[in-house]
Structure 1
């Protein structure tokens, strides 16, 4: 998920401990240092190349309509190319983005945020989602065509505004088939790509990231990324909490943890099976129909009442309202992506190092507690307003 990492501020701590690069990173470093020599010859494209570029851009526009279409496009690609594991990670993270979008119109956040705040938060999520797909999906389609043609076509990546960093990484993947390396590279790229375009955007900074409501969300830990799966008896959740979202380094490290957790042999098959069986609609009913419903069961004339205790409905309580994306938000026409290449310093490759430690994905209790805290916040707000 664009400007280069500020090594002095954000990354020096994790780089200082590394004195020697492993062989594969030395190779990548050497290629990355050729950026100043890289020249894109735009005038000598064949008719086939021009048509291919046009077709990829059209396919990207076709699926970059809203969160649901993007999420499905990632899944469809992964089913055809399971070696590109990032595509399934993108699918699952996009599901979470959709749930966050519809939460803004659900039972709880509508009572804690104003209409204007809901719209700002949605715009933030939608712009980030749109930009990442706009940048990443052409890369995936060009890889698909390279496989079909049995020819490296990544020299065409500049035609889509893709970073030189990813040109180097796709070339490396085409030679080595290192699934972990290309997945982490795409994580690094996506977060750098949205850094200036969204995270450091003054409008979002002023209206969302620095707002009291956003800090309350962090305080209540209402920002978990969840991977649901079934053990045939009940739905279970694993995932990670998002902390310090404004930090580029922390977002990259979070992406790496999510990737490692998602493709853990203990969980992957069950998560994938559930994702295949339940198409994404944006409603949390997709994975928890006993807690959420896309029909509002509450009487609007009645005061708010708590529904949950330890992620179980209280006797006689209504399920929480969680609309589908279609019910919650209209499609948004996005302005063109801002130009520019975020990459300028080869030291970013230190993020490509593997972390051998096992990720603790336990999040069920934390997520349940966050829902109950939200209900208490609503009750407290109601008491204060009397």
Structure 2
């Protein structure tokens, strides 16, 4: 005769089962964390070895101390005039120097100059539709005028912006945050990307027009709301076109200061993005990794135990850096200079990053650089709460079980940038303290660090997936 369990006994048995399941889950995650820690340590050793090989063949840039001092002196004079004009006016004007005409006006220019201004405005508007079009425009600019180093740096960094935007709808991060934060973070990333392009691309186009005509046209910069800070650099670069590093550093300072007040310090984005608890989660989940994929896909020996030393990672190697704090203007500028030092300081990194850019159209999916781990096809992706264990067990993921990384235009629509506050950020010579020659980083292989970060993100995803309420 079968004994019927009482409701209390049945509940006790179910509770015991839940306890055992939870205990098993804890043991599994502890084991996974231990494996990830060992892999991270051995991977760091391997990363140093790879970085050492890539450091062979330094790529020289021209940074003359005399020219740098002369530019600083000119910029100090400009700052003093800016400050004087601000004191004379109740509110700071958008542009305040005598040699700068009315902003966004072509009055007083000849017909050819007016035509150039209107052509640039139209080109910028068309190319500023999305991260995809901006990224391609930067590369086309660099291909046409390779002395414009910043254009290639901007292309590579803009690729990372696109990947980060797509991540918000990808297979790991989309489950870790709510939809409201995802939309706000997308708007934040998109606005940074769009505003930098809106400010910098007209400068690049103006240089291109100047080259074609054989005469400088930088007196037209104010028509595009460009800061007074940039005029001396463009004038110097016209005379010394081999000083691409000096112009690149100036553009890094300019663009990061440009978005500081317009985006990073904007109350809406500070409260809903930068100060939101989810933002820290995104920083921990590779949002702050800037990656330069190198060359064609190739195998690398992973930093694993000697018994598995024969294993190969069929992935493209990655160079890059981790940005310590996105909401810090100083940190962003220093990171930008380090990234320039990496991309233009080592011949091998530059050559192989350019090979990747030329051979791989930017669509916003991380499958562009690691197709062995990512797929843009949602139906061929894994999303079952077991990603972390699969990643730790496999060097790569089989077709049909890869991480979902969508193409940008399949998950986000083009977004109008909206009104842009018009003012000149350069009002004090104190801003010049970071105008220094870039330094070449020493440890910059990100292949293993990026994969380790994927594993950590997958662990968080799997924990969240396992703790979701079960239905049925």
TM-score, normalised on structure 2? 0.74
Q: Distance in 1 between matches of 2:398 and 2:133?
A: 37
Structure 1 residues 88, 384: CA separation in 2 closer, same or farther (over 3 Å shift)?
A: same
Where do residues 109-120 of structure 1 align in structure 2 (5 Å cutoff)? 109-120=173-184
Residue of structure 1 equivalent to 2:255:
190
Structure 1 residues 41, 203: CA separation in 2 closer, same or farther (over 3 Å shift)?
A: closer
Residues 75 and 88 in structure 1, CA contact (< 8 A), matched pair in contact too: yes
Structure 1 residue 315: Cα displacement? 6.8
Residue of structure 2 equivalent to 1:165:
229
Q: 2:429 aligns with which of 346, 349, 354?
A: 346
Residue of structure 2 equivalent to 1:292:
374
Q: 2:126 aligns with which of 62, 70, 77?
A: 62
Residues 136 and 362 in structure 2, CA contact (< 8 A), matched pair in contact too: yes
Q: Distance in 1 between matches of 2:440 and 2:371?
A: 34
Residue of structure 2 equivalent to 1:243:
324
Q: Distance in 1 between matches of 2:146 and 2:140?
A: 10
Q: Which structure has the bigger radius of gyration?
A: 2
Q: Distance in 1 between matches of 2:375 and 2:449?
A: 21
* TM-superposition CA deviations, 1:189-238 (whole Å, max 9, x none): 11000001110011111111011111122234442111011366341011
Residues 260 and 359 in structure 1, CA contact (< 8 A), matched pair in contact too: no
2:411 pairs with 1:328 = yes
Q: Distance in 1 between matches of 2:318 and 2:239?
A: 37
Q: Distance in 1 between matches of 2:437 and 2:209?
A: 29
Q: Distance in 1 between matches of 2:395 and 2:201?
A: 39
2:459 pairs with 1:380 = no
Structure 1 residues 328, 232: CA separation in 2 closer, same or farther (over 3 Å shift)?
A: closer
Give the count of matched residue pairs: 365
The alignment partner of 1:313 has SS state of coil
2:454 pairs with 1:364 = no
The alignment partner of 1:238 has SS state of strand
Structure 1 residue 378: Cα displacement? 1.5
Residue of structure 2 equivalent to 1:129:
193
Residue of structure 2 equivalent to 1:200:
265
Residue of structure 2 equivalent to 1:308:
391
Q: Distance in 1 between matches of 2:132 and 2:343?
A: 20
Residues 60 and 137 in structure 1, CA contact (< 8 A), matched pair in contact too: yes
2:293 pairs with 1:228 = yes
Residue of structure 1 equivalent to 2:337:
256
Residue of structure 2 equivalent to 1:214:
279
Q: Distance in 2 between matches of 1:278 and 1:107?
A: 22
Q: Distance in 1 between matches of 2:264 and 2:459?
A: 30
Structure 1 residue 329: Cα displacement? 0.6
Structure 1 residues 120, 314: CA separation in 2 closer, same or farther (over 3 Å shift)?
A: same
Residue of structure 2 equivalent to 1:40:
100
Q: Distance in 2 between matches of 1:356 and 1:242?
A: 16
Residue of structure 2 equivalent to 1:269:
351
Residues 67 and 98 in structure 1, CA contact (< 8 A), matched pair in contact too: yes
Structure 1 residue 384: Cα displacement? 3.8
* TM-superposition CA deviations, 1:308-343 (whole Å, max 9, x none): 128723578710111111111111122132101110
Q: Structure 1 stretches of 5 or more lacking a match?
A: 1-20
Q: Distance in 2 between matches of 1:46 and 1:367?
A: 53
Residue of structure 2 equivalent to 1:156:
220
* TM-superposition CA deviations, 1:147-186 (whole Å, max 9, x none): 1111111111011000000112111111222110001111
The alignment partner of 1:25 has SS state of helix
Structure 1 residue 299: Cα displacement? 7.7
2:105 pairs with 1:23 = no
Structure 1 residue 128: Cα displacement? 0.4
Residues 381 and 402 in structure 2, CA contact (< 8 A), matched pair in contact too: no
2:261 pairs with 1:180 = no
How large is the Cα RMSD of the aligned pairs? 2.0
Residues 293 and 320 in structure 1, CA contact (< 8 A), matched pair in contact too: yes
Q: Distance in 1 between matches of 2:380 and 2:385?
A: 9
* TM-superposition CA deviations, 1:32-61 (whole Å, max 9, x none): 234325332454211211111111000000
Q: Distance in 2 between matches of 1:161 and 1:28?
A: 21
* TM-superposition CA deviations, 1:117-150 (whole Å, max 9, x none): 1111110010000000000000000001111111
* TM-superposition CA deviations, 1:270-325 (whole Å, max 9, x none): 1101110111011111111111111013689x742214128723578710111111
Q: Structure 2 stretches of 5 or more lacking a match?
A: 1-63, 82-96, 300-315
Residue of structure 1 equivalent to 2:305:
none
